[in-house]
Structure 1
């Protein structure tokens, strides 16, 4: 199933990141550039780095200039993440371009890649909640609470994985069809963000 295939790649990315556990470490990728494996690994690596950016920026003692620099890194990471999701959807569009779509086919509320984006984030939640559930310096009450949360996350993984695989099966069979809308984010565009437009003039 595609969801299991993707999740294993996400886990490998997360494990590799935590060997050094630094947001500024080199970005590795063991897969062939352009392959779906490469895209999934890169997608999760971006998510993993951003996860730790979000930890850093919540430090109450962070220097304001460092916080501003970090906020800009988070914005750039979000844009890269969005672009990559759309690129992954392009992979599915190409893969299923020859499918004969049923006259009764329906569209899904989200595209395959955006569902896979949620699975990538879920892989991070599971990794860190599992870490908290076994943290030796935490109290028993904390570990037990985190274990309960971990059980829910694992159930969510099963449900989301089933939904992703069903969506892909429906697209492949022509029961659903893909239609991808670009995000068209406005705040990074010098022509659409009035603050950036004014500074440009």
Structure 2
């Protein structure tokens, strides 16, 4: 199943990152650029780095200048994340381009790639909640609470994977159709963000 491939690649990216646990260390994508695994690995690597940036920026003692620099980094990461999601959707558009869409076909609330985006974040939640559930310097109560949360996350992973597989099967069978809306982010566009275009006057 496709979601099994996703989870395998996501877990690999998470493990690879935590070998050094360094947000400044560049990605070493082990997959060929022509393969979907390359995009999946890239997607989760971006998510993993951003996860740790979000931790760092919440340090109450962080220098304001450093915090602003991190905020700009996170903004850039969000844009890269969105770009990769669209590349993944392009993969599915190509894969299903010859499907005979049924007259009764309906559209889904989100595209396959945006559902896979949630699966990537979920893999990170599971990894870090498992760390907390087994953290030896934490209290037994803390570990128990985190184990309970981990159990829920694992159930959520199964449910989301099942839903994604069902969506892909419906698209392949012509029962649902893909309609991808490219990003309409305004705050990154100098012609649409009033703060940016006001400064150009």
**TM-score scaled by length of structure 1:** 0.99
| RMSD between aligned residues | 0.6
Describe how 1:103-182 pairs up with structure 2 within 5 A: 103-182=103-182
What residue number does 1:73 align with? 73
Distance 1:105 1:26 in 2: 43
What residue number does 2:35 align with? 35
Superposition misfits of 4+ residues, deviation over 3 angstroms: none
What residue number does 2:99 align with? 99
Mapped pair 1:16 → 2:16? yes
Distance 2:114 2:136 in 1: 36
Q: How far does residue 200 in structure 1 lie from its aligned partner after superposition?
A: 2.4
Distance 1:67 1:11 in 2: 29
Q: How far does residue 74 in structure 1 lie from its aligned partner after superposition?
A: 0.3
Mapped pair 1:5 → 2:5? yes
Q: How far does residue 61 in structure 1 lie from its aligned partner after superposition?
A: 0.2
Q: How far does residue 35 in structure 1 lie from its aligned partner after superposition?
A: 1.6
Q: How far does residue 34 in structure 1 lie from its aligned partner after superposition?
A: 3.2
Distance 2:175 2:159 in 1: 20
Q: How far does residue 198 in structure 1 lie from its aligned partner after superposition?
A: 1.6
Secondary structure of 1:40's aligned partner = helix
* Structure 2 unaligned spans of 5+: none
Offset from partner CA, 1:9-45 (integer Å, 9 cap, x none): 0000000000000100021100001321000000000
What residue number does 1:84 align with? 84
* Structure 1 unaligned spans of 5+: none
Distance 2:108 2:32 in 1: 30
Distance 2:59 2:112 in 1: 35
Distance 2:42 2:200 in 1: 33
Q: How far does residue 167 in structure 1 lie from its aligned partner after superposition?
A: 0.3
Say which is worse superposed, 33-42 or 63-72, in terms of deviation: 33-42
Q: How far does residue 182 in structure 1 lie from its aligned partner after superposition?
A: 1.1
Q: How far does residue 88 in structure 1 lie from its aligned partner after superposition?
A: 0.5
Distance 1:199 1:52 in 2: 32
What residue number does 2:64 align with? 64
Q: How far does residue 121 in structure 1 lie from its aligned partner after superposition?
A: 0.0
Say which is worse superposed, 190-199 or 114-123, in terms of deviation: 190-199
